[in-house]
Amino acid sequence: MSRRRKQDKPQLLEVTSPNDGRVLATLTMHDEADAQAMLARAQSLYAHRDGWLAHYQRARILKNLAAMVAAEAEDFAMLIAQEGGKPLS
């Protein structure tokens, strides 16, 4: 298991089209230490509910997110189709 120090260059993953091999996206990979740190942070935030937003604030955030996703739906569909090597029809 590799452990990456913070000053080390992060590993990248290129997502390519199965049709022509072109790079669709480049993603930063996380190692086990990164994942453990993210899980610990999430568990800590969940356990301290006094810092949570009120339900109406969370609902507003989710509605805004839904609107943002809907506005980008066609782009998401194109990317998903390209990742799978399928034409979008």
Q: What pLDDT digit, counting tens, does each position of 29-78 carry?
A: 999 999 999 999 999 999 998 989 999 999 999 999 999 999 999 999 88
Kindly indicate the confidence band of residue 1, based on its pLDDT and cuts at 50, 70 and 90. very low
Pairing of strands 12-16, 23-28: antiparallel
The answer to pTM > 0.85 is no
Listed residue (23, 22, 75, 21) closest to 12, CA to CA: 23
Residue 69, Cβ density class (10 Å: 0-12 exposed, 13-18 middle, ≥19 buried): exposed
Listed residue (11, 10, 14) closest to 83, CA to CA: 14
**Which one is predicted more confidently, 3 or 21?**
21
Question: How far apart are the C-alpha atoms of 69 and 48, rounded to whole Å?
Answer: 29
Residue 2's pLDDT is 45
